[in-house]
Homo-oligomer: A and B are copies of this chain.
Amino acid sequence: MLSRTPEPPYYAVIFSSIRTEGDHGYAAMAEAMNRLAAEQPGYLGMESAREAIGITVSYWADLESIRRWKAAAEHMVAQRLGQERWYAAYHVRVAKVERDYRGGMAGDRCGGSVIDANWKPG
Contacts and interface: CB of A to CB of B under 8 A. Distances in A.
A41 interface: no
Determine chain A's interface SS by DSSP, over half rule: strand
A110 interface: no
Given A49-B53, A51-B50, A89 B101 contact: no
Contacts of A52: 1, 49
A53 B47 contact: yes
A7 to B, nearest CB: 11
Contact of A115 (B49, B89, B92, B104): B89
A103 B11 CA distance: 21
A88 B100 contact: no
A120 to B, nearest CB: 13
